[in-house]
Structure 1
Amino acid sequence: MLRGLNHITIAVSDLERSLAFYTEVASMKAHVRWDNGAYLSLGDVWFCLSCDKVVPSQDYSHIALDVSEEDFAPFTEKLRNAGVTEWKQNSSEGHSVYFLDPDGNKLEAHSGNLQSRLVSLKSKPYAGLVWL
Structure 2
Amino acid sequence: MIRGLNHITFATRDLAGSFAFYTGVLGARPLARWDEGAYLLLGDVWLCLSLDPQSLPPATSYTHLAFDVDPADFAAMRQKLHDAGAREWKTNRSEGASVYFLDPDGHRLELHEGNWQSRLDHYRQNPPPGMVFYDTVETPIVPDASPQTEK
Structure with the bigger RCO (C-alpha within 8 Å, sep 6+) is 2
In structure 2, the partner of 1:59 is 61
Is 1:118 aligned to 2:120, yes or no? Answer: yes
Task: Report deviation, 1:127.
Answer: 2.1
In structure 2, the partner of 1:84 is 86
Q: Which has the higher strand share?
A: 2
> 1:83 and 1:125 mapped to 2: Cα distance?
36
Deviations along 1:80-122, one digit per CA (max 9) or x if unpaired, are 0111100001000100000000010000000011111111111
Counterpart amino acid of residue 127 in structure 1: P
> 2:72 and 2:93 mapped to 1: Cα distance?
19
Q: How many residues are aligned here? A: 81
Structure 1, gaps ≥5 residues long: 6-54
Counterpart amino acid of residue 64 in structure 1: A
In structure 2, the partner of 1:100 is 102
> 1:127 and 1:85 mapped to 2: Cα distance?
32
In structure 2, the partner of 1:34 is none
> 1:97 and 1:127 mapped to 2: Cα distance?
25
Contact 1:87/1:98 (<8 A) preserved:
yes
In structure 2, the partner of 1:30 is none
Contact 1:88/1:99 (<8 A) preserved:
yes
In structure 2, the partner of 1:109 is 111
Counterpart amino acid of residue 91 in structure 2: Q
TM-score by length of 1: 0.57
Deviating beyond 3 angstroms after TM superposition, the runs of 4 or more aligned structure 1 residues are none
TM-score by length of 2: 0.50
Structure 1 vs Structure 2: percent identity of aligned residues? 53
Task: Report deviation, 1:56.
Answer: 5.4
Counterpart amino acid of residue 97 in structure 1: V
Structure 2, gaps ≥5 residues long: 6-56, 135-151
Q: Secondary structure at the match of 1:131?
A: strand
Q: What CA RMSD, in Å, does the superposition of the two structures yield over aligned residues? A: 2.2
Counterpart amino acid of residue 83 in structure 1: G
